[in-house]
Amino acid sequence: MMSRALIGALAGAALGAVAARAAYSAFRRRPPVGDAETWARTNHRGEPITLLEGPAFVAGAGAAAALVPGLSLRQRAAALLAGAGSGALGAYDDLYGTTSSKGFKGHLSALRKGEVTSGAVKILGIGAAGLASAALVSRGPVDTLINGATVAGSANLANLFDLRPGRAVKVGLLTGGPLLAAALAKRAPAAAALAAVPVGAAAVLLPEDLGERAMLGDAGANALGALVGLAAATTLGRPGRLAVLGTVVALTAASEKVSFTKVIAGNAVLNRLDMLGRRPAPAPTE
């Protein structure tokens, strides 16, 4: 007989996958804002690509969190705040953001000078959404701060990986998968469902990403990271959550100094994983 945790995981993954795929098909016919050109961008090869994968992930994960069995009202609200809140702020940056300032340092430096960049709005907004979602599933102010920082930090970190086809989705699956396994090992139905929802929604969109037809953009990457962060907050004990938060902070700080793309390309194992399922890298021109 299947455990309640396994049922919650299967339901969460299935609902996430079905809803995200349906949302992507619907948004390709009628985008949520503007028209198809509004969401069109050029990828690292100089080829056209759509950002509609991001809103599809946000809508699919949100619908799954609202419908999956085994969650309390507070847990559903936390998932919607983390995913939809981060996704909406990411979409704002996708559509209206500028590149005059980059990274935490750049946006906060601009803010100190009185310039409110789209990135600063996103950083502050995702921080607030992270704390609000954490407050719904945490015990006491200390856990709320730890969990809120984990949700918000994970949202930002996932976006830093969305620079090559499939990379951010792979990072989400490689982090969400172990959290799902941990929730199943603990026989925790709610934690299993919360971890399974973003895993299912991301996995079903991975072929579009690897095929270089679509990308998560800020909307999808921020939402994916936030939901994985929420899964960590509801699955792990305090030592585990502190370890996750420390890793998120360290990687975010490192991104200000080094290029993740160069680090990945220079490591045989990471590069093999990064290229798995992708088209070969473009040949250098002479």
Indicate if the pLDDT at residue 16 is higher than 80: yes
Indicate if the pLDDT at residue 185 is higher than 60: yes
Indicate if the pLDDT at residue 1 is higher than 50: no
Q: Average pLDDT over the chain, rounded to whole?
A: 91
Evaluate whether 149 touches 132 at the Cβ level (below 8 Å): no
What is this structure's pTM? 0.91
Indicate if the pLDDT at residue 170 is higher than 60: yes
Residue 66's CB is within 10 A of a number of other CB atoms, namely 16
The 3-class SS string of 178-238 reads HHHHHHHHCCCHHHHHHHHHHHHHHHHHHHHHHCCCECCHHHHHHHHHHHHHHHHHHHCCH
For the stretch 216-246, pLDDT in tens is 999 999 999 999 999 999 999 999 999 999 9
For the stretch 26-85, pLDDT in tens is 999 999 998 999 999 988 888 899 999 999 999 999 999 999 998 999 999 999 999 999
Name the H helices within the chain: 4-29, 53-67, 73-96, 103-112, 118-137, 140-160, 167-185, 189-210, 217-235, 238-255, 260-265, 268-275
- Rounded to an integer, what distance in angstroms lies between the CA atom of residue 47 and that of residue 269? 27
- Rounded to an integer, what distance in angstroms lies between the CA atom of residue 142 and that of residue 87? 26
| pLDDT at residue 107 in the model | 54
Percent of the chain at pLDDT above 70? 90
| pLDDT at residue 283 in the model | 58
| pLDDT at residue 179 in the model | 97
